[in-house]
Structure 1
Amino acid sequence: MEISCPVSAERVNEHVVRIIAFMVALTAIFSIFFDSYFPIVLLTFDFALRAFTTGKFSPLKFVAIQVSKALNLKPKMTDLAPKKFAATMGFVFCLLIVATFMLSLNTVSLILTSMLTIFALLESVFAICLGCYVYSILQILKKNNS
């Protein structure tokens, strides 16, 4: 089932998005394995660049575009709005992870980091964007309340 609720005609290459998600998962796993939340701080900034700007200066997006080109992946375009919403959710998740880590709520930060990893792997491996589903549901609710 494919859910699509574009706010505009803007599109994004799904292959690039999935490569970014894989790098997010690897970074989160690295963070857990080395018990360091500095990588999550870096993810916070990258999510912010992709969520609140065009993503032009996102290091993960830059690398993903280069990987996509190197693998000769034919662009597969999808709606941008749900992906931007998902990036916003990633940003919030990262803020929560960093905050809970700084407050010495290590179990909570580990759970949140594990959830971020699972969400990123679902997007990367299976093209299941949970943030996109939440976005679509919110659009339906918004439309029904109008």
Structure 2
Amino acid sequence: MNKYATCPISTNRINERVARLNGLFTFLLIMLFIITRLWYIPAFLAFDFLMRSINLSKFSPLAYLSKGIVKLLQLKKKFINAGPKIFAARIGLLVSSAIFIFSLIGFNITAIVLASVLALFSFLETAFGFCVACEMYPYLNRFLNRLQ
């Protein structure tokens, strides 16, 4: 089976440099949450992921900051398909929302475990351009199709 045959495809393109900086800021913020346990950090991340997952990245504070840094450093643009990154943002929205909820209701260990997973995924995106959610998509899609 060609696992890439069902990747989410979009007519939109995004700058990979911006996506990787978004990953860096997500990693730094989630590490700050792990250290401080401040509930509003995953709430902020959930909002940011929501904006990116519904194609409103112009309202995403992290995307705005990342675009500004790319422009300031005059990094060469490298455009990629937006579909996989939008899917990844939706996964980020789910995970950061769960972290927020678990931290509010006192399930701190669960929140930290989920935060650690999000930190790992964000680190992989930043350091290597490896999008775990993008790699999971074909398998998830295949699994969901079997349930129907």
TM-score (norm 2): 0.88
Give the distance between the partners of 1:44 and 1:13, measured in 2 at CA.
21
Instruction: Check the 8 A contact 1:82/1:136 in 2, yes or no.
Output: no
How do 1:1-146 residues align onto structure 2 when only pairs under 5 Å count?
5-138=7-140
Give 1:127's aligned amino acid.
G
User: 5+ unaligned residues in a row in structure 1: which ranges?
Assistant: none
Q: Secondary structure at the match of 1:7?
A: coil
Q: Secondary structure at the match of 1:12?
A: strand
Give 1:34's aligned amino acid.
T
Give the distance between the partners of 2:41 and 2:122, measured in 1 at CA.
15
User: 5+ unaligned residues in a row in structure 2: which ranges?
Assistant: none
Q: Secondary structure at the match of 2:95?
A: helix
Q: Against the structure 1 CA distance between its residues 102 and 142, is the aligned structure 2 distance closer, same or farther, given a 3 Å change threshold?
A: closer
- Work out the percentage of aligned pairs sharing the same amino acid: 31
Instruction: Check the 8 A contact 1:86/1:131 in 2, yes or no.
Output: yes
Alpha-carbon shift at residue 9 of structure 1 (Å)? 2.2
How big is the alpha-carbon RMSD for the aligned residues of Structure 1 and Structure 2?
A: 2.3
Instruction: Check the 8 A contact 1:12/1:78 in 2, yes or no.
Output: yes
Give 1:116's aligned amino acid.
L
Instruction: Check the 8 A contact 1:5/1:79 in 2, yes or no.
Output: no
Give the distance between the partners of 2:133 and 2:73, measured in 1 at CA.
26
Task: Summarize deviations over 1:109-139 as a string: whole Å, max 9, x none.
Answer: 0000111111000001111100111223345
Alpha-carbon shift at residue 98 of structure 1 (Å)? 1.1
Q: Against the structure 1 CA distance between its residues 3 and 19, is the aligned structure 2 distance closer, same or farther, given a 3 Å change threshold?
A: farther
Give the distance between the partners of 2:7 and 2:20, measured in 1 at CA.
19
TM-score (norm 1): 0.89
Instruction: Check the 8 A contact 2:14/2:82 in 1, yes or no.
Output: yes
Q: Against the structure 1 CA distance between its residues 99 and 64, is the aligned structure 2 distance closer, same or farther, given a 3 Å change threshold?
A: same
Give the distance between the partners of 1:124 and 1:3, measured in 2 at CA.
25
Alpha-carbon shift at residue 33 of structure 1 (Å)? 1.2
Give the distance between the partners of 1:138 and 1:104, measured in 2 at CA.
30
